[in-house]
Amino acid sequence: MSVECIQPWLAHRPRRGATVVDTLVLHASGNDDLQQTVEQLKEKGLSYHYIIDPMGLPHKCVPYSAVAFHAGNSYGPHEATRGTSRQQDAHHNFVEMTSVNEYSIGICLVSPDTGTVTYTQEQIDACVWLIKELKTSVPALKYITTHYLVSPGRVSDPTHLDIVRLAKKAGLEIWMP
């Protein structure tokens, strides 16, 4: 399997210091078109490290050595081990303005994510393949989670993704709050 690169890279910044990247956050695009997904990200100044289209082709959008802007105000394994508050305001934002972006890799599956559309087997297979490839270059990868799990109440993606099965195939632990 190969990976297509989207050029120029989507919005990103360098990681701080000696950041250990140990978490993968899975997303859904909210539409069924790769180009529309990329254009919406560009308009909003957001990004994923990878986007997997419905045919199962991974597209690299940001080097994994950089921070992509995919999870915003979120709470993950590093906040949990630091004892950071999980308190959220009325808009479901964490009051301490936490973010998993610094130590995670964001992977998006192109999907309307309406709850009635499932992900293609090609996408799931490509996602497992990509994660295994990433583990060779990023050996600290330990956790897999979803946008919904790190940003509860604020987002719902990816709906109906079998994270348990995916984690088992990819050889990662599921992180849940």
Q: What is the mean pLDDT of the chain?
A: 94
pLDDT for 105: 98
Provide the 3-class DSSP secondary structure of residue 28.
Answer: strand
Strand (E) or helix (H) holding 5: strand 4-5
- The residue among 153 and 115 whose pLDDT is bigger is 153
Both structure tokens of 170? 């990819």
Residue 59, pLDDT > 80, answer yes
- Quote the tokens at residue 124: 């799931």
Residue 110 CA to residue 123 CA, distance in Å, equals 9
Question: Which of 60, 26, 150, 51 has its CA nearest to residue 100?
Answer: 150
User: For residue 33, what pLDDT is reported?
Assistant: 95
What average pLDDT does this structure show over 67-78? 95
Q: Give CA separation, 36 vs 19, 39, 42, 173, in Å.
A: 32, 5, 10, 32
**HSE-CB for 110 with a 13 A CA cutoff:** 21
* 26-50 exposure pattern, b = at least 16 Cβ within 10 A, e = fewer: bbbbbeeebeebbeebeeeebbbbb
pLDDT surpassing 90 at residue 62: yes
pLDDT of the residue at 81: 86
Note the helical H segments in 48-173: 77-82, 121-137, 147-150, 163-170
Spatial distance between the Cα atoms of 146 and 25, rounded to a whole number of angstroms:
5
pLDDT of residue 118: 78
Q: Alpha-carbon distance 45 to 43, whole Å?
A: 6
pLDDT at 111 over 80: yes
Task: Give the pLDDT mean for 139-144.
Answer: 97
In this prediction, residues 106-128 reach a mean pLDDT of 89
Give me the pLDDT at residue 177, please: 86
Residue span of the structural domain in which 96 resides: 4-11+19-174
Q: What CATH number does the domain containing 110 carry?
A: 3.40.80.10
Among 115-124, 145-154, 162-171, which is the least confidently predicted range? 115-124
pLDDT at 134 over 80: yes
Provide the domain count of the chain: 1
Q: Is the N-terminal amide bond of 177 cis, ω within 30° of 0?
A: no
